[in-house]
Amino acid sequence: MSNSVVSGSEPQMIEQKPVLIEFLASHPALSQPIATQLAQSFHCRTMEKGIRMVSQGQLWDTAFFISSGIMRFYYATADGKEFNKGFYKEGDLVWPKAPAARTQPSLFTIECLTPCLFWQMSFADFQAQLVSEGLWERFALPYLEQFADEKFLREYEFLVHDAEKKYLSLCEQLGPMIERIPDYHLASYLGITNVALSRVKRKLKDA
């Protein structure tokens, strides 16, 4: 990944790789030795709020595991208008799931909403290691199924649910982390105005 996409420095004296190993080993397809071996190729990085992991129009060529922090991914129009597509949070392993996303310029930007600490490696190397062990399909399938389920659910909620139900669903997905995301980003994701979101939150608080 080029320096124009990633800005940050290797954190000093931070030892959190056991968390990454534990996460990888929790996948049914990965044994403890395979998870440990795979984790050795990840490098720990930190990024400040507002730094972009992936920029729209550039190639997304990494896989990363978020140890702490929240990221958003969003579309931007030619005139600079932004539309939030979703959020990545602590404990998420993020990689380009759609084949086209690995070979074509990214349609969206991934940006740190808070200071973030994460583990990163080349996606090509990540995939190649699992392919060499005969594990890629078994590893990737649950993620692809979850990706499809989330896409269908978001489409259903966007078309059918009112603002309150959309917000409650997002609260369930993000848990306490939703309090760390500015309301205008939440409103953009939900497809409502800041005013409408304020009304929803006020109604739920008074209920």
pLDDT at 119: 97
Q: What domains can be seen in the chain, in order of their start residue? A: 10-135 (2.60.120.10)
pLDDT at 15: 57
- Is the distance from CB of 109 to CB of 55 less than 8 angstroms? yes
pTM of the model: 0.87
pLDDT in tens, the chain (207 residues): 333 334 444 444 345 689 999 999 999 999 999 999 999 999 999 999 999 999 999 999 999 999 999 999 999 999 999 999 999 999 999 999 999 999 999 999 999 999 999 999 999 999 999 999 999 999 999 999 999 999 999 999 989 999 999 999 999 999 999 999 999 999 999 999 999 999 999 999 887
- Is the distance from CB of 174 to CB of 87 less than 8 angstroms? yes
Would you give the end-to-end CA distance of the chain in angstroms?
Answer: 48
The sign one gets for the Cα dihedral 15, 26, 70, 39 is positive
Side-chain half-sphere exposure of 129, counting CA atoms within 13 A: 17
pLDDT at 145: 95
Token look-up 């739920």 returns 204
Q: What angle do CA 14, 120, 92 make, to 5 degrees?
A: 90
Amino acid at 127: Q
pLDDT at 60: 96
